[in-house]
Chain A
C-alpha cells in the first residue's frame, strides 16, 4: 500500500485489492443491482436455469413432467433469457478483465503441494455438485442468498449464511489435508 501512486508497468500479480475497498465497491454493485433491477446479484441460479434449459432441449417431456424444471422452462422468458444468466456472463467477463489487468491470466490447477492435481480436480467437481445441490435447496448461494439477502435484511439470507459458514467450519477439520 505504501507504493500507492507509483506507476508500475508490470503490477505484482500477487497483489489484490484492499479488502475494505473491495467490500465497499461490492456494496455499491449490490446497491446498483437493487436500484436498477430491484434484486441482488446471484450465481447458482444460472447453472440451474441452464440445466433446466438443456433438459428441456434433450428431454422436453421429462422437463414438462418435472415440477422443478418446468417452473424454469415455462417462466416468462424461458430458462435462457434470464437476468441471472446475463449477470453470470458479466461475472466471467469482469473476472477476465480484472485478471488481465493485474496479470493473473494463467491456465493452471491451483492445489496444495500435498495433493495431486487430479485429486484437486476431483474434489472441486464434488464441491461443485454439493454446493449447487445445497444452493438449489436453500434457494440461493453465498451471493444470491447470503450477500443479497444481507443487503435487504432477509432472514433466509442470514440463516443460509450462518449455515454455510457454520457447515464449512464443521467439516473443515476433515478436509484439512486438501488445503494445509
Chain B
C-alpha cells in the first residue's frame, strides 16, 4: 500500500493536486489555530501563550503514532517515506539562525503564508523576506558550502541515535505532549498576556 504516489499506485501527475489539497488543509489549520498572528506565535518565547507548542506537539505526536500504526496495519511502508537527512552542523547553526528570525519576524515561513493570506501586512513583509533570504543564501552558498554539507549522517532516525525502540520513543513523545496539557497552563497563568 502507501505511500501511494511513490509506489506508483497513483500516477505522479496527481501529486500536485494532492499537494494543493494537503496545503489547503495545512493552511486552514495554521490559520484556525491562531498561527496567523505573530503575537500568538512569539508568545511561546515570552511565556504568555503556548498555543504553538500545544498544536505542534499534538500534531507531531499524532502523526508519529499514526504513521507507526498505519505501518503496523499495512497501510503505509515507513521505509518508503522521505526522511530528512541529518547534517549536524548545518542543522544546529541553521536552527539558531531560524530562532533569531523567529523572534524578530514573529513568524515561520509556513505561518507567514497563512497569515499573509488573511491580510496581515507584517506577514507579507516576512514572505518578501523569505525570498530575499533564499537569494542571499544562493549567493553566499559557495562561501559556506563546506560547512553546510559537513557532518552528514544520512536519513538517520532519532530512536536509533538515542538507542531506544521506535515504539518507546513514540510513547515518550506522546507523554511529553500529554504532560504539556497540564504543565503549560501553570506558566500561562503566571504571565500576563499583553493586549493589543
Cβ contact within 8 Å between B54 and A99: no
From known contacts A140-B84, A159-B95, infer whether A124 and B114 are also in contact, taking CB-CB under 8 Å.
no
Q: Which of A55, A102, A142, A152 lies in contact with B67, CB distance below 8 A?
A: A152
Cβ contact within 8 Å between B120 and A109: yes
B17 closest partner in A (C-beta): A86
Cβ contact within 8 Å between B114 and A38: no
A107 closest partner in B (C-beta): B119
Residues of B within 8 Å of A84, CB to CB, are: 19
Quick one: CB contact mask for A166-180 with B, threshold 8 Å, 1 for yes?
Answer: 111111100110111
Q: In whole angstroms, how far apart are the Cα atoms of A54 and B150 in the complex?
A: 28
Q: In whole angstroms, how far apart are the Cα atoms of A47 and B137 in the complex?
A: 12
From known contacts A93-B27, A110-B38, infer whether A19 and B58 are also in contact, taking CB-CB under 8 Å.
yes
Residues of B within 8 Å of A149, CB to CB, are: 83-84
Cβ contact within 8 Å between B5 and A37: yes
Residues of A within 8 Å of B58, CB to CB, are: 19-20, 22-24, 26-27
Interface Cβ pair total, 8 Å cutoff: 552
From known contacts A124-B129, A154-B157, infer whether A134 and B94 are also in contact, taking CB-CB under 8 Å.
yes
B102 CB, min distance to chain A CBs, angstroms = 5
Residues of B within 8 Å of A164, CB to CB, are: 95-96, 98-99, 102, 108
Q: Which of A44, A105, A152, A167 lies in contact with B95, CB distance below 8 A?
A: A167
A123 CB, min distance to chain B CBs, angstroms = 5
Q: Does A106 contact B (CB under 8 A)?
A: yes
Residues of A within 8 Å of B100, CB to CB, are: 130, 134, 167-168, 171
Residues of B within 8 Å of A129, CB to CB, are: 101, 129-130, 132-133, 136
Q: Does B187 contact A (CB under 8 A)?
A: no
Residues of B within 8 Å of A97, CB to CB, are: 24, 27-28
Cβ contact within 8 Å between A31 and B63: yes
Q: Does B74 contact A (CB under 8 A)?
A: no
Cβ contact within 8 Å between A68 and B141: yes
A63 CB, min distance to chain B CBs, angstroms = 9
Residues of B within 8 A of A (CB): 2-7, 10, 15-34, 36-40, 42, 44-46, 48, 51, 54-67, 70, 75-76, 78, 80-88, 90-110, 112-123, 125-138, 141-142, 144-145, 148, 153, 155-161, 166, 169-170, 173, 177, 181, 194, 196
CB-defined A-B contacts under 8 Å, sample of 5: A29-B26, A43-B108, A134-B93, A150-B63, A178-B103
